[in-house]
Structure 1
Amino acid sequence: MAVTDTEAVHVIVIGEGATETILPITQDRLPADRVRIVETDPESTDEYDRYLEDLLGVVTSRTAADSFDDQYLEVADTIREELDADNRVWCNATESGYAIATAASTIAAERPAARSRIHAYQATTGGYDQLPLVADPQLSDTAVEVLEALAENQGVGSISQLAHRMVDGDLGDSFRSKVQYNAEKLEDAGYIERVQRGNRMQPCLSPMGRLWVTERGRDD
């Protein structure tokens, strides 16, 4: 494989998925100098590892991440590391799509100047599908407070109840309205979802909202 100034690095979460996960590389449809594997099942990873290195000569490295949150954090850190080295990053979302795609979109929003070097794709039997990178909206201070309050008050019955827990003292109509407004915006953006609990729809963080709070906590 020819040596270039920058490398094409693939980030792939591999568990017990079908071999089509690496088809875009094995069929030479996408450039690949290195593959960084985030493994959830070491035995399955061994097979991919041997195939990529022994047959294709693609350099691989492996890290383990079992949970959805750990996969997201590992992928996000890997993308940042490769961008810092001026490389192009191809994020394979075939097996752990949401974690990979969310991490890629988060870093693309975090580093707009590097957006053209971040790609997300999903392998198919006929090749691959390019996935769009969703822009991360600018969150208001109140929106951030709502997300953090939901993380701290899991099981809260309603947004109104959440607003009561966010204040020290009497809850005014103005603050309640502000919390309600921001909660609706966060739900539209996919950060909050409502889950059926008995006869009510209980607000909670979506997977994307939970990951956002986790990432913010690391930065703080």
Structure 2
Amino acid sequence: MQTHVVPVGFDYDRLIAPLVRDQFDVDRVVLLEGAVGSEANVEYSRNLSQKLETDFRNLLGAETERVPVDDVYDYDAAFEQAYDLINEELDAGREVWVNVSSMPRPVSFAFATAAHSVTLERQADRDRIHTYYTAPEKYLETELAEELRADRDLLRDLLEGAEGVAGGPAGEPDTVAGVDVDRVRERLDTATDLLAEFDERGTTIGAKEVDGRHIIELPVASFSNVKPFEEVILFKLGEAGEFESVSELAKALAGELNEEYTDSFRSKVIYNVDRLGPGGKGYVERESHGKSYRTRLSRIGELWVRAHAAEDASDYEW
């Protein structure tokens, strides 16, 4: 059985056409919906999602579910959502295919990275997790721009022709081809300005501010297998945020685990923190200050803790 996870942006063909043409055996489809841009953009995307829902059912006979993505620019939340969804589908005995062709990049990257992370944690299921992309046959933006350019030229010709017939300012026409002349001028000016922006800026304008910044960091690292005691360390760092030294972390762990704080226990913590650090799995960051190292989770470490938050570290034996 196959589940296809499909983030819906502003595409239709490349989200469903390859599955129909290549005769995929699709049992279930999860359509991810999120608000992107203006109200008109949101409505456009929602209409595409409705059409996809209908056509996945009619053309492929697939059970289809529409799932909201609360914030398409929140990478961490999208990663957690993807991680949980992929694991749930695998637990239900389904093969998971993640389409990353559409929706804003934070969602696509989050789902792709989550899929890869799950393959590392569930080695036996590696061949049941797939991430894929479909290239479009053509892009409509430039064609739309060329059509708008032709329409602009037509409006200009009509306006100039009507003014010529009227014989100058004194005889300025009230209408052009039966349309109010001011309305024609307004449409001509709007088309001219829009084309000028398109030619100068491309298909998008500006850089959106998200959480006070204009960039959204997308961690490229994926999960690695984590041993039980390493998990305890990660959960503790997730709970506390930061420790001024590894020794402080070791003391906190000893107290929580009812262990005696000895040199041996401290060495065990140091060894495992090293394995989790930049030279190892990359889940922990260490910043030198004096003779100590401030210890905290890295971005991928934060994602690991967030994705595994439902697990109880006290259940593990070490």
What TM-score, normalized to structure 2?
A: 0.50
Preserved contact between residue 31 and residue 65 of structure 2 (Cα < 8 Å): yes
Q: 2:305 aligns with which of 196, 208, 213?
A: 213
Distance in 1 (CA, whole Å) between partners of 2:284 and 2:134 is 29
Preserved contact between residue 10 and residue 89 of structure 1 (Cα < 8 Å): yes
Which has the greater radius of gyration? 2
Preserved contact between residue 11 and residue 75 of structure 1 (Cα < 8 Å): no
- In the other structure, the counterpart of 1:204 is 296
Larger relative strand fraction:
1
The superposition leaves residues 58-79 of structure 1 with CA deviations (integer Å, 9 ceiling, x where unpaired) of 6542222434444334323332
Larger relative helix fraction:
2
Distance in 2 (CA, whole Å) between partners of 1:121 and 1:153 is 38
Preserved contact between residue 147 and residue 205 of structure 1 (Cα < 8 Å): yes
Q: 1:185 to 1:47 in 2, by over 3 A?
A: farther
Q: 1:55 to 1:98 in 2, by over 3 A?
A: closer
- TM-superposed deviation, 1:117: 1.5
Distance in 1 (CA, whole Å) between partners of 2:118 and 2:51 is 30
- In the other structure, the counterpart of 2:237 is 150
Q: Secondary structure at the match of 1:217?
A: coil
Q: Secondary structure at the match of 1:167?
A: helix
Q: Which runs of structure 2 are paired with 1:40-79 in the superposition (5 Å)? A: 40-41=34-35, 43=42, 45-53=45-53, 57=59, 60-66=64-70, 67-79=74-86
Q: Secondary structure at the match of 2:224?
A: coil
The superposition leaves residues 150-187 of structure 1 with CA deviations (integer Å, 9 ceiling, x where unpaired) of 11211333333322332339853333322222112112
Q: 1:218 to 1:13 in 2, by over 3 A?
A: farther
Q: 2:262 aligns with which of 172, 183, 187?
A: 172
Aligned residues: 202
Q: Which runs of structure 2 are paired with 1:86-165 in the superposition (5 Å)? A: 86-93=93-100, 95=105, 96-122=107-133, 136-141=224-229, 143-165=230-252
Q: Secondary structure at the match of 1:35?
A: strand
- TM-superposed deviation, 1:114: 2.9
Distance in 1 (CA, whole Å) between partners of 2:49 and 2:67 is 12
Q: Which has the higher contact order (CA 8 A, sep 6+)?
A: 1
The percent identity for this pair of structures is 32
- TM-superposed deviation, 1:24: 6.0
Residue identity in the other structure for 2:225: P
Residue identity in the other structure for 1:49: S
Preserved contact between residue 38 and residue 71 of structure 1 (Cα < 8 Å): no
Q: 1:170 to 1:103 in 2, by over 3 A?
A: same
Q: Secondary structure at the match of 1:12?
A: strand
Residue identity in the other structure for 1:164: K
Poorly superposed stretches of 4+, deviation over 6 Å: none
Distance in 2 (CA, whole Å) between partners of 1:213 and 1:191 is 10
- In the other structure, the counterpart of 2:32 is 38
- TM-superposed deviation, 1:144: 1.8
